[in-house]
């Protein structure tokens, strides 16, 4: 009988060729963990090439899952278990695995030629170089092919189910239920019975192998995490974003029109929304990024909720139209799923370097509200808020997601949609002004005195016919080159966006001891790593404050006071210090930039160590406090 | 595709306007005229196009509030300000893209794009061809003056090769676009050409374009008196007799008082102009605007001079309907909704299939 060891948390990475189905295996394991009640965080990592040459380092695709019996905030820096389906997967991922960790290696492709292809001069399974790890070397491929031989598949097709064999093995190793994955495979391959049966059989065979083999001395269990009561599901960022846009439009009683152009890593928003015509969603795959946002703005002009999804290079192309939306003061939601740049950069890798582009990347004084979700599930709330601001203030809104939150997944308490407030587009249907001739008319730039939102009459409204455009206008909608008018309109547009601050909650500070001298301030997807680092630091006895910005424009009203309340403010971001630059410029506070641009989420362990070094720079005693659970390995 | 719509009453002919509400009272040209001061140069061809347009609109019977004009940037793109309908003066080249999103989401609007040769064929070339290809229900009026007016006189993508302008003191080097050939290459269903000063011809073409369901492209040869004056003299006034090849559906393509006609080489399909007396009227091409195959329509567009204009076919080259993108897009939504929409649908979607409960 295998011994069972209880663990608080585990990080597993599945790695193989980009055609090996590692994303699927990872996804399924994630679902099992989530359904079991663990907290989860995931990090898919794949090459931009669809099928890079088999067995090469650039072709390696991986999926990392962190699951725990407490609330975690990152997919983990370093896996404790690596499933490597070939030599390339081993070589590409080994350096990340903790010493003492487990390597489950498919030996099928460990031929001298395959080893040489990735630069191994000798077989690492035989040369002792893996002595620091628990190596489980198995011919997974052969075992899979043997298990599914009754279905008469060719060797290639049979071998393709080895991801399910590996998943079955891991499912046994961590004592996960099997029914979810069996049900999933049955419905996924419902139209191909032999493929379906082969996958289910491979999955069961992997599980059975774990039970019968004596290779594993220990099996592990990670008990469910205590979470607030409620109904949960698992969700990734792009799906949550798509749902948020749908709900935002529904709350405004508007048709959602997504004009977009395929671009990694944003395309899944299009894929998701294109499935929901049943809910009245119109998706439009345009000829280019410019037409995509143009069509979205055209839809908004017609009184619909126009949205567009893109990534950095696409955002650059959309800027002129965003400027038109600023000038015509029409609602528009622009989702930028940031990726490593500049130019094409690294399309499948994450980054946060579009912040300055979003805030300032247009001609003229062109203020745009900018929001950033902090986690996959938070994309939902952020999208709804973006819709609300866009509609109520008649303005384009940019949402800065990134590859990390877009593709990552986490448990999500299912929201009760009836509790989400409705959004009033407040269309004009009656004249709001009188012409010199005494005739009633519509002045499109007459404003709500509080919000400065302009009057909005949509085509089809009789008696309110008017013209909008990119040329400067006066209040009545007439073209105006008058110096005073332009000065007034530029300031009105700026004041309108700045005034959105009234809807933004003050920045919350997490500083349990109340005595921290250093504040870690994150934005967007750095939330998880910063939170993990803060826990690590507190666990080591340091007092540290954390705050997180969702609103990048306008900033929360109390931000200046918060920044000035700490001896040191450290801003970790996946760029060269863009938020730091904005904070310094706006508040004259000497914030410290902590910058990483490796195409990966910031490592919480590295951040922890670097903040400890920084704390040492500050003279005087540091208040101490304790917090038990660490996301780094104690 | 024949579309019938009860709101159209006796105006069933305007398939392109199906779904657009009719005005309860007849409208006048004056009601479509905005109070903005028209600011084109004196003598600009845009004036006569605007006058004809304002004359046509009341005849279409639709309401002003359901009429939208979307333009890009350039002299012609000031057009929306002068029509008392809804209007959007957008950005350079993007009007077809913006109008597409509007037309897809608002079948109750009559959407017109007003653009120029620089706007539509240079910076906006991509949007033009893709809008035409998709066949979105809108009408594009392409004012072609073969010059850049608003930026003061540079050559345009329709300027004849060798054009001496401010930016090409030694003559332009590039081959011009033939806008109608381009449109046909982009699978256009409706392609026509009119002349700014020919009110009757332009009226007929505008009405036919409005009638067409799908994208209609109307090239309007428009004189720029400042930077390219007299570019289209060959198709105006007395010269029109020899310069205009009138296209009338079902009629032989003859001009110059019947002296000249268009004949088709059966071996190559190439069209050329011949003396009718020499070839015989029976051998003159009979124009069929509804022919499914676009080859002859294309060959007709090639009779237009690409250099200095001496002669050009005028009228409707092609008028063939195929399903409009926006109709199909809305149909997909309607069909999906028909499969069983309910108020809880979105909640169910967000909740998903795999959930677990805590507590």
Q: Is residue B145 within 8 angstroms of chain A, CB to CB?
A: no
Residues A304, A361 within the same domain: yes
Contact A359, A396 (CB under 8 A): no
Question: What size, in residues, is chain B?
Answer: 359
User: Is the domain of A387 the same as that of A533?
Assistant: no
* Chain A residues touching residue B99 (CB < 8 angstroms): 298
Q: How far apart are CA B117 and CA A396, in angstroms?
A: 30
Provide the pLDDT for residue A633. Answer: 47
In angstroms, what separates the C-alpha of B152 from chain A's closest C-alpha? 19
Confidence of residue A7 (pLDDT cuts 50, 70, 90): very high
Rounded distance, CA B172 to CA B307, Å? 12
Nearest CA-CA distance, residue A517 and chain B, Å: 37
Collapsing DSSP to helix, strand or coil, A132 comes out as: coil
- Contact present, B145 and B231 (Cβ < 8 Å): yes
Residue B213 neighbours by CB under 8 Å, 6+ apart: B1, B3, B15, B16, B18, B137, B321, B324, B327
Write the DSSP symbol of residue A103. Answer: E
Contact A79, A133 (CB under 8 A): no
Per-residue pLDDT at B9 exceeds 70: no
Q: What number is the average pLDDT over the span A206-211?
A: 94
Before B150, cis peptide (omega within 30)? Answer: no
Does residue B45 register a pLDDT over 60? yes
Rounded Cα distance, B190 and B184, in Å: 9
Residue A359 DSSP SS3: helix
**Among chain B residues, CA nearest to A304:** B105
A290 to chain B, closest Cα gap in Å: 8
**Contacting residues of A for B57, CB less than 8 Å apart:** none
Q: What is the pLDDT of residue B1?
A: 36
Q: CA A198, CA A139: separation in Å to the nearest integer?
A: 18
Evaluate whether residue A500 is within a structural domain: no
Q: What local confidence, expressed as pLDDT, does residue A217 receive? A: 85
**Is residue A509 situated within a structural domain?**
no
Q: Which CATH number belongs to the domain containing residue A197 in this structure?
A: 3.40.920.10
Do B105 and A180 make contact, defined as CB atoms within 8 angstroms?
A: no
Is pLDDT above 70 for A399?
yes
Q: Which of A198, A222, A246 is the last residue of a domain?
A: A222
Domain termination residue (choose one: A203, A222, A241): A222
pLDDT at A630: 54
| Domains delineated in chain B | 6-236 (3.40.50.970)
Residue B199 contacts residue B206 (beta carbons within 8 Å)? no
Closest CB from B99, B333, B351 relative to A414: B351
Tell me: do A217 and A306 sit in the same domain.
no
Write down which residue in A364, A392, A419 finishes a domain.
A419
Same domain, yes or no: A206 and A245: no
Task: For chain B, positions 8-47, list CB contacts with chain A under 8 A.
Answer: 34-36
Q: How far is A31 from A402, CA to CA, in rounded Å?
A: 22
In tens, the pLDDT along B285-324 reads 999 999 999 999 999 999 999 899 999 999 999 999 999 9
Task: For residues A200 and A275, state if they share a domain.
Answer: no
Q: Residue B39: closest CA among chain A residues belongs to which residue?
A: A479
Question: Strand B139-144 and strand B86-89: pairing?
Answer: unpaired
Preferred mutation among A465, A474, A481 to probe B, highest tally of B CBs within 10 A: A465
Per the domain annotation, does A304 fall within a domain? yes
What six digits make up the tokens of A324?
A: 């038109």
For residue A455, being part of any structural domain is answered with no
H or E segment to which residue A63 belongs: strand A60-68
Q: Are residues A609 and A589 in the same domain?
A: yes
Whose CA is closest to A269, among A277, A258, A253, A282? A258
pLDDT at res. B8: 46
A446 within domain boundaries: no
| pLDDT category of residue A225 using cuts at 50, 70 and 90 | very high
Please report where in the chains the tokens 């309907």 appear, as a residue: B321
- Residue-level pLDDT at A529: 96
CB burial string A260-278: b at 16+ within 10 A, e below = bbbbbbbbbbbebbbebbb
Q: Which chain B residues have a beta carbon less than 8 Å from that of A181?
A: none
Mark yes or no for CB contact B102/A284 under 8 Å.
no
Region B245-254: what's the mean pLDDT? 98
CA distance A232 to A394: 34
Average pLDDT over residues A491-516: 96
Q: Is residue A491 part of a domain?
A: no
pLDDT tens by residue, A266-299 = 999 999 999 999 999 999 999 999 999 999 999 9
Contact A320 B101 (CB under 8 A): no
Q: In this model, does residue B41 exceed pLDDT 70? A: yes
Do the Cβ atoms of B104 and A255 come within 8 Å?
no
Place of tokens 């085509």: A459
Task: Give yes or no for B7 touching A (CB within 8 A).
Answer: no
CATH of the domain at A259: 3.40.50.970
Which residues from chain A sit within 8 angstroms of residue B73, using beta carbons?
Answer: 470
Among residues A110, A13, A40, which one has the least CA distance to residue A412? Answer: A40
pLDDT at site A512:
93
pTM score of the predicted model: 0.95
User: Could you tell me if B209 lies within 8 Å of chain A, comparing CB atoms?
Assistant: no
H or E element at residue A522: strand A518-523
Predicted local confidence at residue B2, as pLDDT: 40
Residues A216 and A279 in one domain: no
Q: Whole-number mean pLDDT of chain A? A: 94
Find the domain containing A403 and state its range.
Answer: 233-419
For B112-165, write each residue's pLDDT tens digit: 999 999 999 999 999 999 999 999 999 999 999 999 999 999 999 999 999 999
Alpha carbon A31 to chain centroid distance?
18
pLDDT at A632: 53
Closest by CA to A282, choosing from B170, B117, B261, B107, is B107
A300-309 pLDDT, tens digit each: 999 999 999 9
What angle do the packed helices A378-393 and A237-251 form, to 10 degrees? Answer: 30
CB atoms within 10 A of CB A318: 28
**In the beta sheet, which residues pair with residue A230?**
B358
Whether A291 sits inside 8 A of B99 (CB atoms) is: no
pLDDT in tens, A520-542: 999 999 999 999 999 999 999 99
Q: Are residues A215 and A273 in the same domain?
A: no
Angle between helices A193-212 and A162-173 (to 10 degrees): 40
Task: Compare CB distances from A465 to B86, B90, B354 and report the shortest one's residue.
Answer: B86
Same domain, A240 and A212: no
CATH label of the domain that carries residue A592: 3.40.50.920
Inform me whether the pLDDT recorded for A563 exceeds 50.
yes
Same domain flag for A61 and A201: yes
Whether the CB-CB separation of B132 and B183 falls below 8 Å is answered with yes
Of the listed ranges A245-249, A458-462, B136-140, B353-357, the least confidently predicted one is B353-357
Q: Give, in order, the Cα–Cα distances in Å from A405 to each of A35, A446, A574.
A: 20, 39, 13
Domain check: are A139 and A237 in the same one? Answer: no
- pLDDT at residue number B4: 47
Q: How confident is the model at residue B13, as a pLDDT?
A: 57
Out of B130, B345, B346, closest to residue A287 by CB: B130
Token pair for A585? 């410029």
> How many CB pairs below 8 A link A and B?
206
Picking from A372, A374, A422, the residue whose alpha carbon sits closest to that of residue A397 is A372
- Measured CA to CA, the distance from residue A489 to residue A418 in angstroms comes to 38
Encode pLDDT of B193-209 as tens digits: 999 999 999 999 999 99
Q: How far apart are CA B170 and CA B175, in angstroms?
A: 15
DSSP state of A225: P
The total domain count for chain A is 3
Rg (CA), chain A: 27
Question: Within an 8 Å CB–CB cutoff, is residue B101 touching chain A?
Answer: yes
Among A188-192, A457-461, B126-130, which is the least confidently predicted range? A188-192
What is the rounded distance in angstroms from the CA atom of residue B115 to the CA atom of residue A136?
Answer: 69
A85-133: pLDDT as tens digits = 999 999 999 999 999 999 999 999 999 999 999 999 999 999 999 999 9
Q: Which of B17, B95, B102 to mutate to test the interface with A (most CBs of A within 10 A)?
A: B102
Backbone angles phi, psi at A85, to 5 degrees: -90, -5
Six-digit token string for A207: 């599980």
Is residue A513 situated within a structural domain? Answer: no
Percent of residues, chain B, with pLDDT higher than 90? 92
CA nearest B65 in A: which residue? Answer: A460
Sign (positive or negative) of CA dihedral A591, A594, A595, A600:
negative
Q: What is the 3-state secondary structure (H, E, C) of chain B?
A: CCCCCHHHHHHCCCHHHCCCCECCCCCCCCCCECCCCCCCCCCCHHHHHHHHHHHHHHHHCECCCCEEEEECCCCHHHHHHHECCEEEECCCCCHHHHHHHHHHHCCCCEEEEEEEHHHHHHHCHHHHHHHHHHCCCCEEEEEECCCCCCCCCCCCCCCCCCCCECCECCCCCCCCCCHHHHHHHCCCCEEEEEECCCHHHHHHHHHHHHHCCCCEEEEEECCECCCECCCCHHHCHHHHHHHEEEECCCCECEECCCCEEEEECCCCCCEEEEEHHHHCHHHECECCCCCCCCHHHHHHHCCCCCCCCCCEEEEEEEECCCCCHHHHHHHHHHHHHHCCCCCCHHHHHHHCCCEEEEC
**pLDDT, tens only, A40-65:** 999 998 887 777 788 999 999 999 99
Contact A294 B341 (CB under 8 A): no
Same domain, A282 and A405: yes
pLDDT band at B5 (very low <50, low <70, confident <90, very high): very low
Report the alpha-carbon distance of residue B34 to residue B38 in Å, rounded: 9
Q: Would you tell me which residues 298-357 of chain B have a C-beta closer than 8 angstroms to some C-beta of chain A?
A: 329-330, 332-333, 335-337, 339-341, 345-347, 349-352, 354-357
Q: Who among B106, B340, B356 is closest to A35 (CB)?
A: B356
Which value does ipTM take for this structure?
0.96
């Amino acid at each position: 009988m295998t011994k069972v060891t209880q663990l608080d948390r585990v990080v597993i990475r599945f790695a193989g060729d980009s055609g090996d189905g590692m994303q699927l295996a990872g996804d399924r394991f994630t679902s099992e963990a989530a359904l079991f009640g663990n907290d989860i965080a995931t990090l898919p990592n794949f090459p931009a090439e669809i099928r890079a040459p088999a067995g090469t380092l650039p072709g390696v695709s991986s999926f990392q899952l962190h699951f725990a019996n407490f609330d975690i905030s990152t997919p983990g820096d370093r896996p404790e278990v690596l499933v490597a389906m070939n030599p390339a997967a081993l070589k590409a991922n080994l350096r990340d695995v903790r010493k003492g960790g487990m390597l489950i290696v498919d030996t099928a492709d460990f031929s001298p030629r395959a080893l040489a292809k990735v630069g191994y001069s000798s077989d690492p399974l035989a040369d002792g170089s893996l002595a620091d790890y628990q190596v489980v070397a198995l011919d997974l491929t052969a075992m899979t092919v043997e298990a599914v031989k009754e279905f008469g598949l060719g060797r290639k097709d049979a071998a393709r189910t080895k991801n399910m064999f590996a998943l079955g093995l891991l499912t046994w190793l961590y004592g996960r239920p099997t029914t979810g994955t069996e049900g999933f495979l049955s419905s996924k391959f419902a139209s191909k019975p032999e493929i379906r049966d082969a996958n289910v059989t491979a999955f069961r065979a992997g599980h059975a192998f774990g039970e019968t083999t004596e290779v594993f001395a220990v099996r592990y269990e990670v008990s469910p995490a205590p979470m607030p009561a409620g109904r949960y599901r698992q969700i990734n960022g792009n799906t949550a974003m798509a749902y948020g846009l749908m709900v935002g439009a529904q709350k405004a009683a508007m048709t959602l029109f997504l004009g977009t152009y395929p671009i990694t890593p944003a395309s899944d928003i299009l894929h998701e929304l294109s499935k929901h015509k049943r809910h009245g969603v119109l998706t439009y795959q345009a000829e280019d990024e410019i037409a995509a946002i143009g069509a979205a703005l055209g839809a908004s002009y017609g009184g619909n909720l126009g949205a567009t999804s893109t990534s950095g290079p696409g955002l650059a192309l959309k800027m002129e139209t965003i400027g038109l939306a600023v000038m015509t003061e029409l609602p528009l939601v622009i989702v930028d799923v940031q990726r490593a740049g500049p130019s094409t950069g690294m399309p499948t890798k994450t980054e946060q370097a579009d912040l300055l582009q979003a805030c300032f990347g247009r001609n003229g004084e062109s203020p745009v509200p900018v929001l950033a979700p902090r986690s996959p599930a938070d994309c939902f709330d952020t999208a709804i808020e973006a819709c609300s601001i866009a509609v109520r203030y008649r303005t384009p809104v940019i949402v800065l997601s990134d590859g990390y939150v877009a593709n990552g997944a986490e448990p999500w308490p299912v929201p009760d949609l009836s509790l989400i407030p409705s959004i009033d587009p407040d269309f004009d249907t009656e004249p709001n002004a009188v012409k010199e001739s005494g005739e009633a008319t519509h002045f499109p730039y007459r404003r709500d005195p509080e919000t400065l939102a302009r009057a909005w009459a949509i085509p089809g409204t009789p008696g309110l016919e008017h013209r909008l455009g990119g040329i400067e206008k006066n209040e009545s909608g007439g073209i105006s080159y008058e110096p005073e008018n332009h000065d007034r309109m530029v300031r009105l547009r700026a004041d309108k966006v700045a005034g959105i601050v009234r809807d933004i909650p003050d920045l919350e500070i997490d500083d349990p001891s109340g005595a921290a001298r250093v504040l870690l301030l994150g934005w967007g997807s750095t939330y998880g790593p910063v939170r993990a680092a803060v826990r690590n630091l507190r666990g080591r006895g340091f007092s540290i404050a954390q705050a997180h910005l969702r609103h990048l424009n306008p900033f929360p009203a109390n931000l200046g006071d918060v920044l000035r309340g700490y001896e040191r403010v450290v801003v970790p971001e996946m760029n060269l210090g863009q938020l730091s630059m904005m904070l310094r410029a706006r508040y004259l506070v000497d914030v410290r930039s902590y910058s990483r641009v490796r195409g990966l989420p910031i490592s919480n362990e590295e951040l922890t160590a670097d903040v400890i070094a920084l704390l040492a720079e500050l003279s005087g005693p540091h208040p101490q406090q304790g917090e038990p659970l660490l996301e780094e390995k104690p | 595709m024949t579309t019938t719509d009860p709101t159209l009453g006796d105006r069933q002919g305007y398939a392109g306007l199906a779904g657009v509400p009719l005005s309860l009272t007849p409208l006048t040209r004056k009601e479509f005229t905005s109070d903005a001061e028209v600011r084109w140069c004196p003598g600009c061809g845009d004036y006569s196009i605007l006058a004809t347009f304002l004359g046509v609109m009341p005849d279409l019977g639709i309401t002003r509030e359901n009429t939208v004009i979307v333009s890009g940037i350039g002299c012609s793109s000031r057009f929306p300000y002068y029509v008392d309908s809804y209007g959007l003066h957008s950005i350079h080249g993007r009007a077809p893209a913006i109008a597409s999103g509007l037309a897809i989401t608002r079948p109750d609007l009559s959407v017109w794009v007003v653009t120029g040769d620089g706007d539509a064929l240079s910076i906006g070339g991509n949007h033009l061809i893709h809008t035409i290809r998709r066949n979105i229900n809108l009408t594009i009026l392409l004012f072609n003056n073969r010059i850049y007016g608003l930026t003061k006189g540079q050559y345009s993508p329709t300027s004849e090769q060798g054009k001496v302008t401010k930016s090409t003191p030694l003559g332009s080097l590039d081959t011009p676009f033939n806008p109608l050939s381009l449109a046909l290459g982009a699978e256009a269903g409706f392609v026509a050409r009119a002349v700014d000063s020919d009110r009757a011809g332009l009226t007929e073409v505008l009405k036919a374009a409005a009638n067409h369901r799908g994208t209609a492209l109307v090239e309007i040869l428009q004189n720029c008196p400042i930077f390219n004056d007299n570019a289209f003299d060959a198709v105006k006034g007395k010269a029109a007799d020899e310069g205009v090849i009138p296209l009338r559906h079902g009629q032989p393509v003859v001009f110059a008082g019947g002296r000249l006609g268009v004949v088709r080489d059966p071996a190559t399909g190439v069209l050329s102009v011949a003396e009718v007396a020499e070839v015989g009227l029976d051998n003159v091409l009979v124009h069929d605007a509804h022919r499914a195959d676009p080859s002859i329509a294309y060959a007709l567009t090639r009779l237009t001079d690409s250099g200095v204009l001496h002669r050009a076919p005028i009228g409707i080259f092609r008028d063939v309907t195929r399903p409009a993108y926006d109709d199909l897009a809305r149909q997909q939504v309607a069909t999906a909704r028909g499969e069983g929409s309910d108020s809880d649908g979105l909640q169910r979607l967000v909740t998903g299939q795999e959930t677990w409960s805590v507590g």
